[in-house]
C-alpha cells in the first residue's frame, strides 16, 4: 500500500508542476486578489456546503470543530490539485480568438489525527488568495490633461499554513480553533508607453505579507430518530489587519529613478466573516447540506477609481448519496459516493456600479482504491461550472469550468499496544 501511495503522489505532484499557465482575472487587482472559497475536500462536489459536516473516516476542513469526531489511533492525509479553464467576454476583450486561459496547480497538503479520544488536530498548507492580471488602458497624467497608454501586470497571492485543534465538549457538541499564518507576496508592474517622454516608465512594486489569522468553529449533531441525523455548524473570523513590507523600483529606459525603496504599512484588512450551515442525513446514505456565508467588507471604507467594496454573501446547497458495504458482517465502509450542488454569491467588489455575482453548479464522486477496510487510499473528484461578472458597463464576464482531484490516505498508527489486521 505504501508503494502505491508514493507512486500516486509522485504522479500527482508531477502533473501539478509540469503544466502551469495561470488563469488571469482583472478583478484580482484589488487587495490581496481573488479569495479562495474551496476547501478542496469532499465538499467541493456539494456546492462547497459543509460547515455542519463531519466524519470519522475523512476530514472536512471548512469547520475547525469537525476533526474531533475522527476515529482514534488513525492518521489522515490529503493532497489536492485543480485544473481550471476560463473564457472571457465583454467589450474590453479585443481578441476573441485568444480569450481563454487554462491552469493546473497543486492546491492543498493536509494532515489530521487524534491526540486524545476527545482531541483532534490538523495542520496543512492551503491557498488563501490569488493575484494574476494583465491588461492595458489609458491613464491620465496627474496634474495635466495628457493621457498615456498604460499596461498593468500582477501576479502572486497568499497562502495559509494552519494548525487546528478540535475538541469534543459532549456527545452532541464540538468546538475548534484554527490558528494560521497568512503569508505571500504580490508583484505589481505599471508601464507607461513613453509617448510623452523619451522612453517607457515602469513602476514595480513588490508586496510581502505575513500575519496571524484565526477562525473559530462549533458543530452540534444529534439523532432525530432511527432514520434521520441532523447537524448544525458555525464559524467566525474577526477583522484582521494584514501587515506588509513593500519594495519599489521605478525606471525610465536604462535610468533608475527609485531603487528598492522599502517601507512598511498595514496593506489590507480582512473583514468579520460568519458562516452557518445545516445538514441532514437519511439512513446513513443520503446527506443534504446548506451553508450561508457573510463577509462585512463595506465598513472597511476601502475604495478606488471605479470600484468600492460591498458586503458579500454566499449560499451553497448540496446533496450526496453514499453506498456502504459491510465487512465481517459488522464493520461498515464506503464503496463510493455521488454528489451534486450549486452556489450563488455576491462578490465584495462593486465596479462601475455593478456588484459582481458568481454562481455555478457542481458534481462530485469518489471511491476507495484499496479493499482494506481499516486503512487505504481513496480518490474523489469534483467538476464545477460557473460564471462570474457581467458584460454591462464595460466589465468582463468570466465563464469557467474546473476539476478538482483529491487523494486521501488513512491508516493506523503503529503502536506496541496495538496489532493491525487486514
Query: How do residues 295-305 score in pLDDT, each as one tens digit?
Result: 999 998 888 87
pLDDT of residue 313: 96
Query: How do residues 359-413 score in pLDDT, each as one tens digit?
Result: 999 999 999 887 665 667 899 999 999 999 999 998 999 999 999 999 999 888 7
Query: How do residues 112-127 score in pLDDT, each as one tens digit?
Result: 999 999 999 999 999 9
> In the predicted model, what is the mean pLDDT of the chain?
86
pLDDT over 90 at 294, yes or no: yes
3-state SS record for 279-328: EEEECCCEEEEEEEEEECCHHHCCEECCEEECCEEEEEEEEEEEEEEEEC
Percent of the chain with pLDDT over 90: 54
Closest by Cα among 59, 105, 160 to 404: 105
Polymer length in residues for the chain = 422
Quickly count: other Cβ atoms within 10 Å of residue 161's Cβ.
16
pLDDT over 70 at 319, yes or no: yes
- Cα 297 from Cα 180, distance rounded (Å): 21
pLDDT over 70 at 13, yes or no: no
- pLDDT tier at 18 (50, 70, 90 boundaries)? very low
- pLDDT tier at 194 (50, 70, 90 boundaries)? low
pLDDT of residue 30: 86
- pLDDT tier at 290 (50, 70, 90 boundaries)? very high
Average pLDDT on 216-240 reads: 95
pLDDT over 80 at 259, yes or no: no
Higher-confidence position of 120 and 58: 120
pLDDT of residue 17: 44
- pLDDT tier at 145 (50, 70, 90 boundaries)? low
What spatial distance separates the first Cα and last Cα of the chain, rounded to whole Å? Answer: 12
- pLDDT tier at 101 (50, 70, 90 boundaries)? confident
Rounded to 5 degrees, what are φ and ψ at 399? -100, 125
- pLDDT tier at 20 (50, 70, 90 boundaries)? very low
pLDDT of residue 330: 65
pLDDT of residue 326: 74
Q: How far is CA 218 from CA 58, 115, 169, 236, 272, in A?
A: 18, 19, 10, 9, 17
Average pLDDT on 88-94 reads: 83
- pLDDT tier at 14 (50, 70, 90 boundaries)? very low
- pLDDT tier at 355 (50, 70, 90 boundaries)? very high
Give percent helix, percent strand, percent coil of the chain, each to the nearest 5. Answer: 10, 65, 25
Higher-confidence position of 419 and 377: 377
pLDDT of residue 202: 83
Q: How far is CA 132 from CA 29, 101, 155, 206, 415, in A?
A: 8, 11, 4, 14, 47
Superfamily of domain 2-412: Outer membrane protein transport protein (OMPP1/FadL/TodX) (2.40.160.60)
pLDDT over 70 at 329, yes or no: no
Domain ranges of the chain: 2-412
Amino acid at each position: 500500500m505504501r508503494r502505491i501511495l508514493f507512486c500516486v503522489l509522485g504522479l500527482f505532484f508531477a502533473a501539478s508542476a509540469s503544466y502551469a499557465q495561470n488563469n488571469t482575472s482583472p478583478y484580482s487587482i484589488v487587495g490581496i486578489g481573488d479569495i479562495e472559497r474551496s476547501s478542496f475536500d469532499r465538499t467541493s462536489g456539494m456546492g462547497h456546503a459543509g460547515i455542519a459536516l463531519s466524519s470519522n473516516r475523512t476530514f472536512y476542513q471548512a469547520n475547525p470543530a469537525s476533526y474531533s469526531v475522527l476515529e482514534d489511533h488513525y492518521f489522515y492525509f490529503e493532497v489536492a490539485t485543480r485544473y481550471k479553464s476560463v473564457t472571457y467576454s465583454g467589450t474590453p476583450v479585443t481578441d476573441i480568438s485568444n480569450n481563454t486561459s487554462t491552469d493546473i496547480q497543486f492546491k492543498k497538503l493536509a494532515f489530521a489525527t487524534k491526540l486524545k479520544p476527545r482531541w483532534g488536530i490538523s495542520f496543512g498548507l492551503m491557498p488563501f488568495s490569488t493575484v494574476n492580471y494583465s491588461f492595458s488602458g489609458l491613464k491620465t497624467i496627474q496634474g495635466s490633461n495628457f493621457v498615456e497608454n498604460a499596461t498593468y501586470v500582477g501576479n502572486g497571492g497568499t497562502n495559509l499554513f494552519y494548525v487546528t485543534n478540535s475538541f469534543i465538549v459532549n456527545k452532541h457538541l464540538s468546538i475548534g480553533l484554527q490558528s494560521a499564518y497568512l503569508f505571500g507576496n504580490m508583484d505589481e508592474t505599471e508601464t507607461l508607453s513613453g509617448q510623452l517622454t523619451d522612453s517607457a516608465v515602469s513602476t514595480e512594486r513588490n508586496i510581502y505579507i505575513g500575519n496571524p489569522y484565526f477562525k473559530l468553529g462549533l458543530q452540534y449533531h444529534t439523532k432525530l430518530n432511527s432514520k434521520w441525523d441532523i447537524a448544525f455548524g458555525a464559524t467566525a473570523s474577526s477583522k484582521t489587519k494584514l501587515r506588509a513590507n513593500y519594495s519599489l523600483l521605478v525606471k525610465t529606459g536604462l535610468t533608475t529613478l527609485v531603487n528598492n525603496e522599502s517601507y512598511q504599512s498595514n496593506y489590507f484588512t480582512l473583514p468579520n466573516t460568519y458562516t452557518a450551515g445545516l445538514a441532514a442525513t437519511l439512513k446513513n446514505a443520503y446527506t443534504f447540506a446548506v451553508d450561508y456565508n457573510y463577509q462585512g467588507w463595506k465598513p472597511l471604507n476601502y475604495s478606488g477609481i471605479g470600484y468600492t467594496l460591498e458586503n458579500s454573501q454566499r449560499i451553497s446547497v448540496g446533496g450526496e448519496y453514499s453506498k456502504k458495504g459491510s465487512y465481517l458482517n459488522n464493520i461498515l465502509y464506503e464503496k463510493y459516493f455521488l454528489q451534486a450542488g450549486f452556489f450563488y454569491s455576491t462578490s465584495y467588489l462593486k465596479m462601475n456600479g455593478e456588484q459582481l455575482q458568481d454562481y455555478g453548479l457542481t458534481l462530485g464522486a469518489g471511491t476507495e482504491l484499496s479493499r482494506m477496510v481499516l486503512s487505504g487510499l481513496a480518490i474523489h473528484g469534483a467538476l464545477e461550472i460557473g460564471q462570474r461578472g457581467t458584460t454591462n458597463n464595460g466589465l468582463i464576464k468570466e465563464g469557467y469550468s474546473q476539476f478538482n482531484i483529491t487523494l486521501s490516505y488513512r491508516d493506523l498508527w503503529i503502536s506496541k499496544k496495538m496489532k493491525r489486521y487486514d
